[in-house]
């Protein structure tokens, strides 16, 4: 049995060159590298793309602040990204830059094609623009009428001539695509957020700027020299231009992408804008867009001002690249936020890698050398250990489904169960007693069982820790190859006779933290004390723990909704008049328009946070907040089980 060979295309986002690489960049790239390595091992034709995004107003401003041209600045930062990925032995097939001439030509080709199709038109743009996020916002999306809802920083008002893409034209087609392809966005919970956003209505997208010139010019055929393309149109098209779209077309056989890996902060661009562009260009849509979470450090958000940003190169140099890779892939389920701490990393190294994996290999070396002069034969494994082999093969059969569904931490959890079978078999069958009792065949079968388990695990773990697995393959005298993958994994065969070679310990025990801790609290405390404090702080952050006194500072009352109407120009807000038993009804703005009809609310009751400071939204004063709960199934107001007297306090 063999895996059917197919073309596999895996991409990371192209990283914006406004700063050097951090742990989030490393996380994305290591996931992509793991997927690419696995795909090659199982025999697929694989193309792995990464690179840098180098245009836009933010880059021009950053370059100017450093007395550099935008290209000089982009060259410097892009070079640092590429150097880091080379140091990390990332097996990319192409490193694309949006300043590459082939990319520019491909983007211009795409722009012209969409223009000639009638999907791009000229108009005037007026609205709010966040320079750091390179994102346009409507007034209804802003915080306090001026701040970006994504990063919280101040927006600028932009009014200029612009070309627009007819994004609204593709709203229904996008919704159909989401419905017909359940796993087009992973994890699936993220997909619901995208669908709700699209259902609220899509506006046409401004895709050119005239207020700066650091970007790709419009096609010469359009004759608009003062316009440059919006950075997100330019950037997203890299996935196609990297394969030769609009130029050589030499690698378009890999289209469409099997997996676009992105951070959750840029999911909307990839799950809405990108498929709409592809629909316009009449190109097949990606199979999966996979959005991962963010990383904190010791329970705190990372920032330069706190001095707690994780430098991935420093961590890899201190603890080993493969240990770092394993930690990132194992520590957190894909899609959820993760927390980096040296204590957690050390625990993984000493427990999972040292005790479970490394120690099992040491036992193979020890037993084979002591009892059989390092020679291992598999001829009697099935005779004495049929049950263990069945259990191992049963686990292996489930593993493939986890990888391309982005359940990588689950893949590793299940894979570790195979190591448990190996360690348990040694304890159960006690080879030292088998030898003592003259049961040499049984002892050899046991050593061979463990050797085969380690060989199968090595093949399945190679994409995660390629350098340490090379050491294991040297020890076992096998090659990590598609041929052996087919033999040992797919066909469930056993090793031929092998000669074991002694090697150094894979993962020596780490006793102390190896990197200086960022300033936080009492630096005289031990790592264990700091870690305990951090875990408590994380619990408080996660559960938002407060004292009972703090709780009673909140005044939550039952109110009856007397009036409800839509707020003009807002897709989210309803304007309510709520009676709380006071001398006049409260005016409250609630972002529930997507889930409730205004007329249906009149006469119903709701729970209201009544002692909030009044806030102004969309020109209206809001004097409280309705309590609600929202999950993947939508939003529901929190209401009393039975009608209550208005003004009744919740306690």
Quote the CA–CA distance of 362 and 360 in Å, as a whole number: 5
Whether the predicted pLDDT of 541 surpasses 50? no
CATH superfamily, domain 548-637, is Nucleic acid-binding proteins (2.40.50.140)
Q: What pLDDT, in 10s, does the model give residues 306-320?
A: 788 999 999 999 999
* pLDDT score recorded for residue 616: 72
First to last CA, the chain: 65
For residue 552, which phi and psi values (nearest 5 degrees)? -75, -5
What DSSP string runs through 124-144? EEEEEEETTTTEEE-GGGSBT
Checking if the pLDDT of 617 tops 80, the result is no
Q: Which residues, listed in sequence order, are joined to residue 651 by a DSSP beta bridge? A: none
Confidence at residue 3, expressed as pLDDT on a 0 to 100 scale: 60
Structure tokens at 514: 């190896």
Q: Are 465 and 443 in contact (CB under 8 A)?
A: no
Question: Which pLDDT score is estimated for 195?
Answer: 96
- The tokens for 283 are 């190109």
Q: State the pairing for strand pair 205-206/156-165.
A: antiparallel
- Which tokens go with 578? 């709520």
pLDDT digits (tens, 9 = 90+) for 365-384: 999 999 999 999 999 999 99
Q: CA 299 to CA 589: how far, in whole Å?
A: 33
Q: What is the largest CA-CA distance in the chain?
A: 95
Q: How deeply is 148 buried, as exposed, middle or buried, from its count of CB atoms within 10 A (0-12, 13-18, 19+)?
A: buried
Compute the C-alpha angle 345/347/350, nearest 5°.
Answer: 110
187 membership: H or E segment, kind and range: none
Give the model's pLDDT for residue 503: 96
5 is in an annotated binding site: no
For residue 11, give the nearest of 23, 28, 24 by alpha carbon.
Answer: 28
User: How much is the mean pLDDT over the chain?
Assistant: 90
User: Which regions of the chain carry the CATH code 2.40.50.140?
Assistant: 548-637
53 pLDDT exceeds 60?
A: yes
Is the pLDDT at 2 greater than 80? The verdict is no
pLDDT surpassing 80 at residue 635 = yes
Domain with CATH 1.10.730.10 in the chain: 340-499
3-class DSSP assignment, residue 167? helix
Q: Is 520 annotated as a binding residue?
A: no
Cα–Cα distance, 385 to 594 (Å, whole number): 60
In eight-state DSSP terms, residue 242 is T
- Say if residues 110 and 84 touch (Cβ distance below 8 Å): no
Measured CA to CA, the distance from residue 607 to residue 234 in angstroms comes to: 47
Give how far Cα 211 sits from Cα of 58, 157, 160, 214, 228, Å: 12, 12, 8, 10, 9
pLDDT at 522 over 50: no
Residue 113, beta-bridge partner list = none
When pLDDT is averaged across residues 253-279 and rounded to a whole number, the result is 97
What is the CATH class of 340-499? mainly alpha
- Are the CB atoms for 348 and 331 separated by under 8 Å? yes
Please return the burial class of 220, using the count of CB atoms within 10 Å of its CB with bins 0-12, 13-18 and 19+. Answer: exposed
- Strand 605-609 versus strand 288-292 pairing type: unpaired
In this prediction, residues 174-191 reach a mean pLDDT of 96
Beta-bridged to residue 297, according to DSSP, are: 300, 340
Nearest to 417 by CA among 358, 363, 356: 356
Distance, CA of 153 to CA of 468 (rounded, Å): 44
Does 607 belong to an annotated binding site? no
Whole-number pLDDT of residue 428: 96
Decide: residue 258, CB within 10 A, 0-12 exposed, 13-18 middle, 19+ buried: buried
- As a whole number of angstroms, the distance between CA 508 and CA 219 comes to 58
Residue 141 near residue 247, CB atoms below 8 Å = no
């Amino acid at each position: 049995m063999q895996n059917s060979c197919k073309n596999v295309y895996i991409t990371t986002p192209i990283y914006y060159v406004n700063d050097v690489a951090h742990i989030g960049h490393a996380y994305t790239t290591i996931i992509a590298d793991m997927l690419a390595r696995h795909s090659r091992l199982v025999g697929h034709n694989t193309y792995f793309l990464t690179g840098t995004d180098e245009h836009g107003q933010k880059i021009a401003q950053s370059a100017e602040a450093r007395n550099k041209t935008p290209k000089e600045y982009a060259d410097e930062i892009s070079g640092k990204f590429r150097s880091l990925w080379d140091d990390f032995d990332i097996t990319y097939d192409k490193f694309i830059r949006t300043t590459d001439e082939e990319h520019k030509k491909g983007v211009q080709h795409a722009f012209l094609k969409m223009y000639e199709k009638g999907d791009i038109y000229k108009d005037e743009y007026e609205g709010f623009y966040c320079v750091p996020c390179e994102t346009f916002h409507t007034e209804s999306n802003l915080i306090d009428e001026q701040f970006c809802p994504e990063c919280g920083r101040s927006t600028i008002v932009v009014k200029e001539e612009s070309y627009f893409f007819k994004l609204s034209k593709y709203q229904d087609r996008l919704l159909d695509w989401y419905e017909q392809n359940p796993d087009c966005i992973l994890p699936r919970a993220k997909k619901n957020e995208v669908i709700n956003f699209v259902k609220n209505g899509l506006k046409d997208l401004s895709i050119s700027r005239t207020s700066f010139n650091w970007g790709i010019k419009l096609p010469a055929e359009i004759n608009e020299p003062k316009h440059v393309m919006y950075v997100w149109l330019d950037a997203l098209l890299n996935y196609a231009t990297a394969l030769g779209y609009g130029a050589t077309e030499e690698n378009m056989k890999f289209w469409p992408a099997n997996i676009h890996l992105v951070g959750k902060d840029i999911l909307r661009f990839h799950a809405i804008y990108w498929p709409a562009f592809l629909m316009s260009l009449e190109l097949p849509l990606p199979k999966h867009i996979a959005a991962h979470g963010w990383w904190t450090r010791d329970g705190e958000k990372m920032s330069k001002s706190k001095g707690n940003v994780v430098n991935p190169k420093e961590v890899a140099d201190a603890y080993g690249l493969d240990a770092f890779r394993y930690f990132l892939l194992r520590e957190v389920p894909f899609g959820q936020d993760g927390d980096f701490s040296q204590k957690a990393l050390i625990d993984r190294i000493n427990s999972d890698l040292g005790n479970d994996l490394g120690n099992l290999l040491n036992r193979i070396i020890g037993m084979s050398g002591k009892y059989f002069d390092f020679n291992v034969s598999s001829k009697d494994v099935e005779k004495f250990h049929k049950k263990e082999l069945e259990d191992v093969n049963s686990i292996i059969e489930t593993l493939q489904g986890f990888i391309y569904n982005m359940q990588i931490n689950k893949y590793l959890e299940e894979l570790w169960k195979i190591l448990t079978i190996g360690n348990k078999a040694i304890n159960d069958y006690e080879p030292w007693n088998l030898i003592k009792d003259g049961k040499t065949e049984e002892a050899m079968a046991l050593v061979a069982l463990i050797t085969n388990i380690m060989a199968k695990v090595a093949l399945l773990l190679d994409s995660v820790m390629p350098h340490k697995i090379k050491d294991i393959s040297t020890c076992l005298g096998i090659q990590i190859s598609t041929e052996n993958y087919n033999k040992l994994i797919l066909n469930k065969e056993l090793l031929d006779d092998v000669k074991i070679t002694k090697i150094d310990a894979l993962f020596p025990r780490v006793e102390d933290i190896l990197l200086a801790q960022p300033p936080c609290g009492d630096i005289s405390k031990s790592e264990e004390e700091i870690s305990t404090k951090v875990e408590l702080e994380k619990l408080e952050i996660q559960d938002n723990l407060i004292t009972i006194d703090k709780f009673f500072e909140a005044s939550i009352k039952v109110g009856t909704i007397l009036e409800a109407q839509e707020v003009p120009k807002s897709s989210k807000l309803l304007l309510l008049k709520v009676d709380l038993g006071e001398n006049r009804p409260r005016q409250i703005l609630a972002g529930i328009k997507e889930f409730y009809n205004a007329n249906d609310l009149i006469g119903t009751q709701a729970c209201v946070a009544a002692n909030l400071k009044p806030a102004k939204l969309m020109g209206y004063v809001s004097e409280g907040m309705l309590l609600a709960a929202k999950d993947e199934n939508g939003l529901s107001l929190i209401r009393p089980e039975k009608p209550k007297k208005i003004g009744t306090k919740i306690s």
